[in-house]
Amino acid sequence: MELGLDVDDSRPPYTVLAVKGEVDVYTAPRLREKLVELVSQGKHQIVVDLEGVDFLDSTGLGVLVGGLKRLRSHDGELSLVCTHQRVMKVFEITGLTKVFSIYGSVDDAVAG
């Protein structure tokens, strides 16, 4: 099972990380490594695009919370793009919709 992780730097100061596939305990470490790598490159405004994600579990949520925490300690921000109900539901029932800024499109996310 491959996790797609595409980085798009064409909209500074934002870095868009498009995730594709299923995020679970097997694939989440790759997402974590990618976020850590981006932060260490000085990219502190990260938009994680979850539109290509068809499954996300609590391990994936944990990685995103970890990324947000890391970015906030650099005065940065991690926002999300998500419209799929099955993925949104995981944020809703855990209350994490109040922790993350969640947008309907990458355009909206980079417009803040």
Partner 1 sequence: MPERRVAVDRELVLQLDVPSRPEFIAVVRLVVASLASDRRALADERIDDLKLAVSEACTNAIEANRSANPAAPVHVEVWEAPDRMEVTVKDNGPGFDPARLEHPPAVTDPQRLQFERGLGIPLIRMLVDSAEFSGTDQGTVVRMTLFGGPANGDDTGTIYMDASKVQGARPLD
Q: State the chain's maximal CA–CA distance in angstroms.
A: 34
Q: How many chain residues are in contact with partner 1, going by CB under 8 A?
A: 27
83: closest CA among 46, 47, 57, 52? 52
Helices (H), the chain: 28-40, 58-72, 85-93, 106-111
And the tokens for 68?
A: 């947000």
Of 7, 51, 99, 108, the one binding partner 1 (CB under 8 A) is 99
**Is residue 60 a contact partner of residue 26, using CB atoms and an 8 Å limit?**
no
Least Å distance between CB 12 and partner 1?
A: 26
Indicate the residue among 11 and 36 with the shorter CB distance to partner 1. 36
Q: Which of residues 36-65 bind partner 1 (CB under 8 A)?
A: 55, 57-59, 61-63, 65
- Which chain residues interact with partner 1 by CB under 8 A? 1, 22, 24-26, 55, 57-59, 61-63, 65-66, 68-69, 72, 85-86, 89-90, 93-96, 98-99
